[in-house]
Amino acid sequence: MCYTSGTTGNPKGVVYSHRSTLLHSLATLFADGVGLCERDVVLPVVPMFHANAWGLPYGCLLAGTSLVLPGPGMTPDAVLTLIQDHRVTVAAGVPTIWMGLLPKLGEYDCSSLRILLCGGSAVPKSMSEGFRAAIGLPVLQGWGMTETSPVATLGVLRSQHDDLSDDDKATVRALQGPPVPLVDLRIADPETGAEQPWDGTTSGEVQVAGPWIASEYYRGEGGGTQFTSDGWLRTGDVAVVDGSGYVKLVDRTKDLVKSGGEWISSVELENEIMAHPKVAEAAVIAIPHERWVERPMACVVVKDGETLTADELIAFLTDRVAKWWLPDAVEFIDEVPKTSVGKFSKKTLREKFEGYSLS
């Protein structure tokens, strides 16, 4: 049993069965996925209590894969030393881990790597391309939750993408990818429950079902509201899906900013902010507004040794997002608060700025 990380609410218990764990382990061996095999050396920079380290230890055991288990104090130098010394081929972690490694990649030998797996929150395109430029290996993005054991989608490139330009391939890698085999996925209107089309434009709440997807929480926590009457998990993530089944996360339902009746994606706005060369981290939350109901606030961490003003940041964003998406407030903070598994804790930020309003 593992507990959800509680980024938007209280943690809830998810109970796994032997069958669900075995089937999920098999999924880590699929060739069009992580493709674990006996020759691999896997470094999960993920705590065991976080969806069983993404299920990787079980997949490694099944394939006979070597496993490097990191200890506490996972600084960028410590992680890169493990990769170099143990000739790691597959490493997995949340975006905050890989962001910390980027500036130091040139100091270590990372040539053994074949996959850098990233999940937990959307991967900025700029970060993935930073790895590709530094070591020739972009980030492989996946999506899932504690409730999905957790792997549900993987952003692999397929033969249909072979003739794309490097920039277009980077755009595809910025998606969360199609559902892995045995996982059913649909998007639905969060208010009416009506299923939405896979047209790459229409958004809806991601709902999933399958043999390793939870159907209830431990002791009925949450009151069953996260599960539909026909057996689908309501993930709380909002996404669009294209005709090939590639998922693009737009936001969490609780993190969307609704301004003047229109939705603003905090995830997309964060990715554009983090593309600024002076920005280390950024999180966007909704702030009450007298006229527009809600407006976006950007909480920004500036890289060490750099200076940045709110006006400079807004000027940078002007040509990158719609005018009405531009943050009405920019707050510079020392660090974006994180959960125990390294995800941005917007719940903490909302509590910190409670009472902050715009007019």
Catalytic residues: 4, 147, 258, 263
E-strand spans in the chain?
Answer: 2-3, 13-14, 41-44, 66-67, 90-93, 115-118, 139-144, 151-154, 184-188, 203-209, 233-241, 247-252, 257-259, 262-264, 279-289, 293-302, 329-332
3-class SS of residue 283: strand
Give the span between the Cα atoms of 82 and 42, in whole angstroms. 11
Q: Taking the CA of residue 167 as centre, how many other CA atoms within 13 Å lie in the half-sphere pointing to its CB?
A: 0
3-class SS of residue 290: coil
Q: Report DSSP letters for 62-116, one per residue.
A: HHT-EE----S---HHHHHHHHHHHT-SEEEE-HHHHHHHGGGGGGS--TT-SEE
- The C-alpha torsion from 121 through 267 and 7 to 196, rounded to 10°, is -90
The answer to whether the beta carbons of residues 155 and 175 sit under 8 Å apart is yes
- The C-alpha torsion from 177 through 178 and 184 to 189, rounded to 10°, is 60
- Residue 206: closest CA among 189, 223, 230: 189
The answer to whether the beta carbons of residues 308 and 332 sit under 8 Å apart is yes
The answer to whether the beta carbons of residues 88 and 68 sit under 8 Å apart is yes
Q: How many Å separate Cα 34 from the centre of its chain?
A: 16
- Residue 141: closest CA among 246, 254, 53: 246
3-class SS of residue 161: helix
Give the span between the Cα atoms of 156 and 173, in whole angstroms. 7
Which tokens hold the place of 217? 């929480």
